[in-house]
Amino acid sequence: MDLPVDTNYKLVVSEDSKKLFMSTSEAFITLDISDKTSIKIMDTQLLHKVSSFVMTNNDQNILIGSDDSFQTVKYQAKYALYSSDHQFKLGKSYSNPLKILELNEFNTNYSSIGQNYKFIQASLYNAEFKPLSKFAVSYSILPNWMYFDKENALLNLDLAHQLEIATYQVRFSVSTEVLAESFLKIEAANYTNEECQNLQAYLVGQGYLDSERFLAPGFDENVALALNTQYVKYEQEIRKILKSHSIELVTKISIESSLELIPESPFQIKTPSMNSIHVEIELFPVNKDPKKTGSIRESSIFCY
């Protein structure tokens, strides 16, 4: 893979983790990183002195700026994750439904792909905490106040503490149904329909598919499958077929303070999280009258 000689690369990974967008001083490049062992250049656009690029949600539009032009490049992921809400306030509990959408054949809009998919698991992708604005990357389990009900596709939040205020990105692993006839693609094996069904049943027994023929948490596209002598010579082809049924999607959620100041009153606050209000009052002099013994003071009130 040959790339322009430039040490000042700007990199962004797509939300489905299958594309890498890269800008150099002379070009905007799209890489296919779905197979980490064989990265390929999908597209290269030569521009004069690329200065920046900005991506919108779901990688649908990329705005590329250069010294002499500014243009929009349209990219659309095959799948998108629909969330009914993205902003949540402290002091409440939420049950947020999620749905997988698929881009139609005309690349014009997304619609539900029906019931032939299943959520496998959810993990914390990264978080940006306020007010420090420190960006922390993590592929870890969800925090204890966030629970994903994968059977009902619900992201449940139980928000109570000020330390939870941040913007989070949550990564979801999704599987489409792995039908037995998918294995007919292994041309070298020349399987019959019955042999494909036997292979499908074998993969269920090995823990790579669940009983409903969706990918199981035991499948890792980057780890070789442990297969018996009957199937081991087709391991790469089988893993490639399983990988084609894997979807990785990310959604962003913001946890915000629920505190409201009521302007009609000298000082009243309103919040559902009454058990965790913190109030700081700072007094400082603004004027001193020599005829009086005291000082006139202003106050600053910080609540969160």
**Domain limit, last residue, from 247, 271, 289:** 247
pLDDT number for residue 183: 96
pLDDT number for residue 268: 57
Instruction: Lay out the sheet containing 87-89: strands in order across.
Output: 87-89, 246-256, 166-176, 117-129, 134-140
Q: Is 196 helix (H, G, I), strand (E, B) or coil?
A: helix
> Is residue 165 domain-shared with residue 85, that is, in the same domain?
yes
Instruction: Give average pLDDT by consecutive 10-residue segment, the chain, 304 residues.
Output: 47 73 68 73 59 56 59 65 86 89 74 81 79 53 90 91 82 92 92 96 96 92 92 94 88 78 56 54 54 47 46
**Domain limit, last residue, from 47, 74, 101:** 74
> Is residue 83 domain-shared with residue 171, that is, in the same domain?
yes
Q: Residue 88 belongs to a domain with what CATH number?
A: 2.60.40
pLDDT number for residue 159: 87
> Is residue 98 domain-shared with residue 133, that is, in the same domain?
yes
> Is residue 156 domain-shared with residue 94, that is, in the same domain?
yes
> Is residue 159 domain-shared with residue 192, that is, in the same domain?
no
> Is residue 15 domain-shared with residue 69, that is, in the same domain?
yes
5 within some domain = no
155 within some domain = yes
d(CA 249, CA 172): 5
3 within some domain = no
> Is residue 86 domain-shared with residue 105, that is, in the same domain?
yes
Q: What pTM did the predictor assign?
A: 0.63
**Torsional class of 116: left (φ above 0), alpha (ψ -120 to 50), beta (otherwise):** alpha
Query: What are the Cα distances from residue 219, in Å, to 16, 20, 54, 206, 245?
Result: 18, 23, 34, 10, 11
Q: Is 21 helix (H, G, I), strand (E, B) or coil?
A: strand
Spatial neighbors of 183 by CB under 8 A, at least 6 apart, are 189, 191, 195, 196, 199, 200, 238, 241
168 within some domain = yes
> Is residue 168 domain-shared with residue 218, that is, in the same domain?
no
> Is residue 236 domain-shared with residue 291, that is, in the same domain?
no
195 within some domain = yes
Contact present, 168 and 124 (Cβ < 8 Å):
yes
Contact present, 88 and 251 (Cβ < 8 Å):
no
pLDDT number for residue 299: 45
pLDDT number for residue 229: 93
pLDDT number for residue 120: 92
Domain interval for residue 284: 260-303
**Domain limit, last residue, from 74, 95, 122:** 74
Q: For the chain, how many structural domains are there in total?
A: 4
d(CA 193, CA 20): 38
Q: For residue 125, which phi and psi values (nearest 5 degrees)?
A: -90, -55
Contact present, 73 and 46 (Cβ < 8 Å):
no
49 within some domain = yes
143 within some domain = yes
4 within some domain = no
> Is residue 170 domain-shared with residue 206, that is, in the same domain?
no
